Structure 1
Amino acid sequence: MSTRETSIETAAAAALVDPAKGQEWLQRYSDALLGVFGTPQRVLVRGAGCLVWDADGKQYLDLLGGIAVNALGHAHPFVTSVISSQLATLGHVSNFFTSPTQVALAEKLLSLAGAPAGSKVFFANSGTEAVEAAFKLARRNSAPSHDGKPRTRILALEGGFHGRTMGALALTSKQAYRAPFEPLPGGVEHLPFNDLQALEAALDETVAAVVLEPIQGEAGVRPLSMSYLQKARELTSKAGALLILDEVQTGVGRTGRWFAHQASGITPDAMTLAKGLGGGFPIGALVTFGSEVSALLTPGQHGTTFGGNPVATAAALATVHALEAGAVLRNADDVGSFLRGALAEVDAVEDVRGEGLLIGFDLDGDYSAEAVKEALERGFIINAPAPRTLRLAPPLVLTRAEAQTFLDALPGILDTARYTHEQNTAAQPPEDSA
């Protein structure tokens, strides 16, 4: 073994067997990594199921799942064994070639989606990359309308989040994300959320595509109504526009169905996937429905070096198999319903939203950030997508008993968070009225 290999192995062992204190690792993080994520909340070194442990040995119930990624929890034995076996067999070949796992995963996704003949899959490495592929697909739907008007507009929604690369960012509505990098790719318009009248007014034959999340995760878990999705399908079909559904966060069982849009009974023209697809291993996908849409991107018009590699597709196949074999989607629906019902009974909770194990709930004040910190202190990982909103996206294998430990602790978490917020607010100097 080389000196370099020995040093890497030593560093890994140090993190797992004899970890330095968390603060030391955080200082090294600050010295070595670009600060785009701010300061990490903890240094995590190990996981098992729905639990993780930090560098100081403290245990946490992971109710965020790597932001809806760890569908089967941490260190799932079947998935890890498949990844290890595949990597020991064939790791990377580039897309000059294919592999059995790539083909089999594409076939499986088309089957789960109930996709018609002629449907296809493009594999990427992340949700953002899948959305970039979808953006290019939309641009290819550019044939002029019957009266000769150019088809150049793309419609998305206020509150939507589709990623941070330039094309995906153009679809994302949050100005704080967009402003530092403008000008972004043009032609994208953002419509009010769940507003059918606005959609009808905007959607004509100059629109190339409408891009929607069935449930807006980053906006606080806001579901589009079934009627909105159905009307969007009707209007896009009439206008010759593509209906592209971003299921990066909602897909692969997160809502108790394989894909969230299936509850509405519609079939999109394209769908993006990632997050839970690989069970923690990076992989994304664009699914195109039908031969006409699938023919829009032709050889040489898009590509990726790593996308669809044997290890990533093996990880995804193993994840899907484990989700099916363990009736995990049924568990997500059951435990999600249990959690939502119990959360609605908490005094400080004003509204609960979501499907399956993608849940958002609003508080009676702007103290969600303090609630995240207090929950962490008490051994629970949650997320605050907005000042008065908390989000849960735990592994789909979460049990009722595990969920109950959080529910038992939540009133105390919120009481302390509210008090901390009030104290911090009172300590702030008044704004200069001048």
Structure 2
Amino acid sequence: MKKVLAIVLSIIILFGWYATLMGVGSFAPIKDQIKLGLDLSGGVYVVMEAQTSATGEELKSLMAQTQAIIENRVNQMGLSEPIVTIEGNNRIRVELPGAQDAEDAINSIGKTAQLQFIMADNTIVLDGSQVKDASTEMDQQHGGYAVALKFDSEGADAFKQATEAIIKGQVVSKNQGVPDRAIMIVLDGEVISSPVVNEVIPNGTAQITGGGGGFTDDEATNLAALIRGGALPVELKEVQTSVVGPKLGLNALEMSIIAGVIGILLIFAIMIIMYRMMGFAANIALLLYVLIVFWVIVAMGGVLTLPGIAGIILSVGMAVDANVIIFARVREEILNGKSIRVSVASGFKRAMSTIIDSQITTIIAGVVLYQLGSGPVKGFAMTLMIGIIASVFTAVVVTQLYLSLMAENKALSKKQYFGIKEGATNV
């Protein structure tokens, strides 16, 4: 069973590396799938601070609303993978890969949003200035959540007239895919929702439901935030701006890749020289480790930055360190006169507590860095934590699988293959 598992795992690793580097069919190579931060791809980043005295939950709500509005704006700029994050309590960090003009980017981010309610025939019903509030509530009809709207007197009047016209069948859609009875909610030229009118709404309130299953809490909260944000809910002051040239980013990426490849090749060579067959098993585990780290980053939608690459390289060192601890324990058992098979099993058991303790403390540090740090620090912390978890898995499971198979093979279960001279002993 172990042999079959080892063969299957080896095939997976080989195929995984081929797919990662070359791609398979419609599956693109990793270089086309992984998102690169500004320090690698070039562009503009802006850090803005909210000018408000709000605190606690009120500040948290303001920042979430501001983030939602800015995300919608930067997505309209046609740039690849814009990133908008909240830093600390009252700052917004906006990263715009591919942007070249910092001033233009700041103007686009800080502009007043254009919120409109438009019927299917393109008649404008009202705008964001006539919306008093938008909040979330339970959707009693469909389950889940809904968005409750409140209009001012002028908006209530306009909304009543619009819904009357729709119910009477006086509206004919001029937009493909929009039913005649819909009222489109448009923010900065983009339709963010198209609720269908089921009755005349005369009292200045309305409810937007998600249809069959209602909205999720997150969907309803985000939609309400976008509707409330006819303009930014708080003034933002620019506190930091930087433009990263694409040439600098490209050079940094190339040098990082070269350094990473050289470092890993050196590690492979040293492991085989120092630990012979044990080093060979560790190298197989490390190949899987690198695959896991990069594809988890892609799956999570993470952004790779220079600090993130540093986190990966550091976690490679920790993965090697875990294997070195295991190999030291195995050697001690062999030198104490135990058989290779028994030494491998007991060596792993003795090493586990040390490995787990050291990795847990590093994960705790990574969590703290991720929670309290800014963008680049978060990137470092994220890749470090992913790398640590992957390193424990590959060291404990993969290395042990291959070593146990070697220990059970008569031709390979010799002391010299484990870096120990025949006849050497501690007893």
TM-score, normalized by length of structure 1?
A: 0.21
Which of the pair has more CA radius of gyration? 2
By percentage of residues, which structure has more helix? 2
